[in-house]
């Protein structure tokens, strides 16, 4: 196992802890794609999930729109932030140069309708 990563068990789930995030690199061959210029520049990405930590170091400087729809538990910033980090994170994201929009507080039906309407507007 990588010495930079340790695992703990919390609430019955394994949690990986990265000790030094400065050495985190993207997996799945993403570095090669990024080197070829596939970084998401001029791409707008919508993260329809939970609320994000708007000041997060991985994407906070590219968060163009942040909107709450309905009611949300603002204390629960983990899932949406994690999804956004993997998708658009500056160090290990799939599209690290993209612009991000976050809509949160939607139920599943509302989110599906929003995606369908956005697709129709293309």
Nearest-angstrom CA–CA distance, 20 and 62: 23
Span 82-104, average pLDDT? 88
Quickly state the pLDDT bin for 1 (edges 50, 70, 90). low
Q: How much is the pLDDT for 36?
A: 93
Q: Token pair of 70, please?
A: 């309905």
Quickly state the pLDDT bin for 92 (edges 50, 70, 90). confident
Q: Is the pTM of this model over 0.95?
A: no
Predicted confidence (pLDDT) per residue in 6-58, tens digit: 677 766 777 667 666 666 677 778 888 889 999 999 888 888 888 888 888 99
Give percent above pLDDT 70 in the chain: 66
Q: Are 69 and 39 in contact (CB under 8 A)?
A: no
Nearest-angstrom CA–CA distance, 22 and 81: 18
Domain boundaries, the chain: 25-120
For residue 9, CA distances in Å to 16, 18, 67, 73 come to 9, 14, 34, 25
């Amino acid at each position: 196992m990588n010495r930079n990563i340790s695992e703990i068990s919390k609430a019955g789930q394994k949690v990986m802890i990265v000790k030094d995030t400065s050495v985190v690199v993207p997996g799945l061959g993403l570095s090669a794609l990024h080197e070829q210029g596939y970084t998401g520049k001029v791409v707008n990405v919508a993260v329809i999930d939970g609320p994000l930590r708007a000041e997060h170091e991985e994407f906070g400087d590219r968060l163009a729109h942040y909107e709450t729809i309905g009611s949300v538990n603002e204390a629960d910033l983990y899932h949406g932030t994690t999804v956004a980090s993997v998708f658009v994170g500056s160090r290990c994201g799939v599209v690290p140069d993209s612009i991000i929009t976050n809509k949160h507080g939607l139920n599943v039906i509302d989110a599906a309708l929003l995606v369908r309407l956005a697709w129709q507007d293309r």
